[in-house]
Amino acid sequence: MNSNLANQLLASIMKWDARTLASERAALEFMGSMKYDAYDRYMPGMRFMSSLVQWLNDIKEEDRDEAYKFIKKKLVFISSTQMNYLVDLLYDSKIRPILLDMATVETGMPSYKRSNKVVRPRFEIEKRSALVIGLSDGAHTDILRRSAGFNNEQVLTNYYPDGKKLKDMLDGLRKDGKMAGIENPFFRRIFLIDDFTASGKSFIRYDDTDGEYHGKLKKIIDELCAKSHIEGDQNIEHLSYLLNPNQDKIQIDILFCIATEKARTNIKNNLDEYLKSVNWQDKVEFNIHIIQPLEDKLSNDIKNDKNLVEVLKKDEHFVKECVISKSYKVGKNDNPWLGFDECALPVVLAHNTPNNSLPIIWQDAERFHGLFPRISRH
């Protein structure tokens, strides 16, 4: 759809006169060209303006002004450039200082001398023996690896590698010249990386129906704490193969590019309780880091906007069968039109839209087309 046709259709749908269209057109075209057109989930040939026309056409006529105001005033779009910058900051502002502190302690230097030349060789050892694991396909571990200068054999794009990969990683560590002088080295510090979380429930949660903990972090910690001492021809099965079985404590840093304080609290509380339930509270130490926190105000502004909420909850604007699933019910869902776990976020990421965001943005069905349609992530 060319821009002139899109503008004509938009004016018709919104009942704009020529003067109103002229005043709105520049802002819309700017938003499209600078950010929204780059949304990865648009079909070939689709652009923001044509998607907006289709989306507003599916909104009831009396609600279109409110819906349009929401897009102009409240939508938050994180571009690929912005996300890549946040990924770069993962190393510079979080990982590197942690590794420097470790090196400083190991060399016996005071903290104010952590840039001392005596610390540098130990820092290289700590950096090479760091294990980096991506928690989803949006973790951008490839960008982090390049920007941080990590070795290929210390970065996992997922948390379920096969035994050959694990063996290659440990062999590579032990053959690396940076580890010269370290007897029988293992990986030491573990960094778990993801781009975004709003509820934290896909990472760890307690399920009342079966009385069990579930989620990615639960699986990873089980893997790291599994007994994996290899003897003879025994198969390598667990991430714990990469760790020293005699170490006192497994140190884990969980890092997010973008997250809510709600997610931080949920992850910390549930992970603490899980570790206590399996008596690993003295075996695992973890910290949670967020590069760009999302303030509660972002979702509160949505929930407190009565006019907008009325638009969101209308049957014409909420496709129940497109939104509610078994996994969706894991979170709070009395008001499912507010998104997964009722997070009520107006957020779109350039590579996908989170299900914690308002369904009116991303749900995509025959009777209602998403402005930024999403795909399920792994």
Dump pLDDT digits (tens) for 358-376: 999 999 988 999 999 998 7
- Comparing 109-113, 278-282, 353-357, which segment has the lowest mean pLDDT? 109-113
The three state secondary structure string of 294-335 is ECHHHHHHHHCCHHHHHHHHCHHHCCHHHHCCCCHHHCCCCC
Rounded to an integer, the average pLDDT of 271-280 is: 97
- Comparing CA positions, the residue from 216, 206, 340, 207 lying closest to residue 269 is 206
pLDDT level of residue 233 (50, 70, 90 thresholds): very low
For the chain, how far is it from start to end, CA to CA, in angstroms? 32
Among 21-25, 104-108, 161-165, 291-295, which range has the highest average pLDDT?
A: 291-295
Q: What pLDDT does 333 receive?
A: 81
**pLDDT per position as a tens digit, 1-11:** 677 788 899 99
Q: What is the pLDDT of residues 208-224, one digit of tens each?
A: 889 999 999 999 999 99
Regarding beta strands 131-134 and 189-197, do their DSSP bridges make them parallel or antiparallel, or are they unpaired? parallel
b/e per residue, 301-313, with b = 16+ CB within 10 A? ebeebeebbebbe
Q: Is 185 helix (H, G, I), strand (E, B) or coil?
A: coil
Rounded percentage of the chain residues whose pLDDT exceeds 70: 96
> What is the spatial distance between Cα 303 and Cα 231, in angstroms, rounded to a whole number?
58
What's the mean pLDDT in 14-28?
Answer: 91
Question: Which residues does 357 contact at the CB level (< 8 Å), separation at least 6?
Answer: 339, 343, 345, 346, 347, 348
Residues 221/227/232/236 CA torsion (nearest 10 deg):
-20
pLDDT confidence of residue 67: 97
For residues 321 and 222, the model is more confident at 222
Q: Where are the domains of the chain?
A: 3-73+296-362, 80-294
Q: How many CB atoms within 10 Å of residue 26?
A: 9
